Amino acid sequence: MGAYILRRLLLMIPTILGIMALTFLVVQFAPGGPVERVIAQLQGQNTDATSRMSGGGGDVGGFDAAGSAGGGEAGSRYRGAQGLDPEFIARLEKEFGFDKPPLERFLLMVGNYAVFDFGESYFRKISVIDLIKEKLPVSISLGLWLTLITYAISIPLGIAKAVRDGSRFDVWTSGVIAVGYAIPSFLFAVLLVVLFAGGSFFDWFPLRGLTSENWASLSWPEKILDYFWHLALPMAALVLSAFATTTLLTKNSFLDEIGKQYVMTARMKGLTERKVLYGHVFRNAMMLVIAAFPGAFISSFFTGSLLIEQIFSLDGLGLLGYRSIVDRDYPVVFATLYVFSLLGLVIGLISDLTYTWIDPRIDFESREV
């Protein structure tokens, strides 16, 4: 098993390199980069990139916002750069790192990322690693609790539905699951805000952040209650759609296994239904559920919580990544991609190792990666 783990860890290196190289080619050479955004601001177009880059002032990278000290004609490399001093454009390119050849920029980025040096945000004047640390508690809270609650509900419910397939319990719970699957989480989040967060009816839950303003002065029991009080509505919105998919996956996996010959043989030997279900069926049926775990875990950190973060004013990695893509804040874009890709690969390895824990008959050591 040690050799298999080592091979998987070594395989992560070219995988990460491939992901970063492909994204670099797409993002770095796409129109509307950071230089174009600053130029657009200087030309009076609708973007706040310059103000964020200069900390709210009118100076960009040491140049006056007019950007036309010499009044020269900038090259046609950037759209809208006519009338701007070429020296200003050159200084702007240097500040963003575009004065270097693409290959050199990529190799420099890879070398820095190998030691988790993500540089500084283009427009926020803060190191990317500090920015990620600042947003990480929100994403960890949403992703971790969503995964735990979803699996804690879905696995027992899916097993119960499989055992009672076709019963009234199965029909009624299927109706609830169908509703949960059909309603988007963000739409249910809006409904929760209207009902319980001061929208139109009750004002029982907060609508901003993970903690209250006086959180530091609270006792430990009060801090825990305050934390879950803030998480209640976002978690309810996320779990509604997440548990539906996992429950159906669990039920179908168990139904497929229950109908197999080895289950009938175990029953003929006189084993109790509980022994058959959890001693034989469980470890085989759970394989498919475990296989879906890495994707569910990573999506709960990013795509699954993006709109929820926006609705409940939770400033996490999902919202950070989206805003960075819109703002062409490349250091933040690449850093979040690197973190999520690395996390996904590690979770995938953990998922494979969990296979062997559930079913010792699986031997990855004798297989090719």
**DSSP string covering 234-254:** HHHHHHHHHHHHHHHHHHHHH
Q: How far is CA 4 from CA 62, 269, 293, 332, 351, in A?
A: 53, 38, 20, 33, 14
Six token digits for residue 87: 């020296």
> Would you state the pLDDT for residue 300?
67
> Would you state the pLDDT for residue 366?
57
Q: Tens of pLDDT along 319-342?
A: 888 888 888 888 888 998 888 888
> How far is Cα 81 from Cα 73, in angstroms, rounded to an integer?
8
Over range 128-145, report the average pLDDT.
85
Query: Using an 8 Å Cβ cutoff, are 85 and 70 in contact?
Result: yes
Q: Tens of pLDDT along 112-125?
A: 998 888 988 888 88
Q: Tens of pLDDT along 185-207?
A: 888 888 888 988 877 788 888 88
Q: Which residue has the higher pLDDT, 365 or 319?
A: 319
Residue 261 has pLDDT above 80, yes or no: yes
List alpha helices for the chain, DSSP H.
2-28, 34-42, 49-53, 86-96, 102-114, 128-163, 168-182, 185-196, 220-258, 261-268, 273-276, 282-291, 293-301, 306-311, 317-327, 330-358
pTM: 0.70
Torsion, CA 153, CA 158, CA 159, CA 164, rounded to 10: 120
Query: Using an 8 Å Cβ cutoff, are 333 and 123 in contact?
Result: no
Domains of the chain (ranges; CATH) run: 35-115 (no CATH), 129-366 (1.10.3720.10)
